[in-house]
Amino acid sequence: MVAALTAAIVLTYAAFWFAPEGVQNSIDYAFALIPSRFDPASPDHFNAWWEAIGPVFGHTFLHAAWWHAGLNAFFFYATGRIPALRLGWARFLALYLFSAAIGALLFVALNWGEQTAAIGASDAVCGVFMAYFFSVRPSWRQSLAIPAVRNQIGVIVLVNVVLMGVLTEFGVFPIAWEGHLGGFIGGALAYIALEPRRRAGPWG
């Protein structure tokens, strides 16, 4: 599953790159996160509720440049294998999609009615980061009991949410920090809910 999602990130970017400009624009409009399309008062809003499903999940397979797709694919592959082994492929896929959805919805909520678009797998990758840290011990509680794990989570969140938020506000480097925050929250909640429960046998 990790290999399949990594390949999907890379191959969809390559396919988008070689597509005609008109096709690219249509794909962006259909699958990028554009908050105004979720606003019923906007002339750009979806014609039917199910049309919102495309951007909520599809934005993770759109990227602005090769380095954008490459970095997301690299960090996803590097951190996804351990939680995928712990959760199994189906629950890991559920965690990826849930992280993407929470990241998407938080971005839309905090930018309600705006036409600024967000794309990229960063929110889902942030969720996988949380799963990676939560899976270093047999349970997420044991993992969080380790000071080094808590410190690393703090640094990752600080860089990807706070620092990126400041850079975005000053127009230095536009990043959807809201999606990152939602991804961290979604990944943590999903891992807690999906983590395999150990059952004690007759000898403990």
Q: CB within 8 A of 89, min separation 6: which ones?
A: 1
Instruction: Classify residue 82 as exposed, middle or buried by CB count within 10 Å of its CB (0-12, 13-18, 19+).
Output: middle
Entry field: residues in the chain? 204
Q: For residues 99-138, b (16+ Cβ closer than 10 Å) or e, as one string?
A: bbbbbbbbbbeebeeeeebbbbbbbbbbbbbbbbbbbbee
Token pair of 188 as six digits: 């943590």
Compute the distance between CA of residue 132 and CA of residue 138 in angstroms, rounded to an integer.
12
| pLDDT computed for residue 201 by the predictor | 57
| pLDDT computed for residue 172 by the predictor | 83
Q: What is the DSSP letter of 198?
A: P
Residues in the chain, pLDDT under 70: 199-204
| pLDDT computed for residue 197 by the predictor | 79
| pLDDT tens string 86-111 | 999 999 999 999 999 999 999 999 99
Compute the distance between CA of residue 119 and CA of residue 32 in angstroms, rounded to an integer.
6
| pLDDT tens string 1-11 | 999 999 999 99
| pLDDT computed for residue 200 by the predictor | 56
Q: Are 173 and 167 in contact (CB under 8 A)?
A: yes
Look at residues 114, 121, 188, 177 and name the one whose alpha carbon lies nearest to residue 150: 188
| pLDDT computed for residue 173 by the predictor | 79
Look at residues 107, 125, 103, 124 and name the one whose alpha carbon lies nearest to residue 116: 107
